[in-house]
Amino acid sequence: MPIPKEVKKLYLSGESQYVLAVLYGVSQGLVSKWLRQLKVKTRRDYRGYLHPQWKGGLNHKSDGRVKVYLPSHPRADSGGYVYRQIVVWEKHRGKISEGYLVHHLNGIKDDDRMGNFELMKKSDHSPWLLLQRTQAHIRKLEKRILKLGGKLS
């Protein structure tokens, strides 16, 4: 089947490949092939801020951590995102060595302030060790509160 003349115009005006496939009674794959032959950039070709569903480059993960769109970063995933705590740490302290990770001291995974970070060996990042470290950190903070004249409940 020859490429219908209106395909490019309809697609660029906002019609989806699915609608075009139904309209011409062909598969979406054939419509996609037509668009490639016509040298039309499809919506799948748009990545990052060019994509119609761009939301500013932040991706909030279900575990609470936040990813930032930085496709040129060496630790970026296949989608171009890297964890924000890594970006913040490296901006202030430099590159993170292999086998280390950035730990959130207060346990709040989207609290990416430098004061809330500790660089840890991955092997030291087990739940039991984290509990011990967190309890020691709480005792340290309680001492600071008492020293400043505050009360603990």
pLDDT tens by residue, 44-79? 666 777 776 777 889 899 989 999 999 899 999 988
Q: Please report whether residue 51 resides in a domain.
A: no
Query: Which helix (H) or strand (E) element contains residue 103?
Result: strand 100-104
Instruction: Express each pLDDT in 88-115 by its tens digit.
Output: 999 999 999 999 999 998 888 999 999 9
pLDDT of residue 152: 79
More confident site: 17 or 129: 17
Range of the domain at 36: 7-45
Q: Please report whether residue 1 resides in a domain.
A: no
Give the gyration radius of the chain's Cα atoms: 25
Q: Please report whether residue 153 resides in a domain.
A: no
**Residues 132 and 92 grouped into a single domain:** yes
Cα–chain center distance at 124: 25
Q: Please report whether residue 92 resides in a domain.
A: yes
Question: Residue 34: which of 4, 55, 64 has the closest Cα?
Answer: 4
Q: How many domains does the chain have?
A: 2
pTM for the whole thing?
0.57
The 8-class DSSP code of residue 58 comes to: E
d(CA 35, CA 43) in angstroms, rounded, equals 11
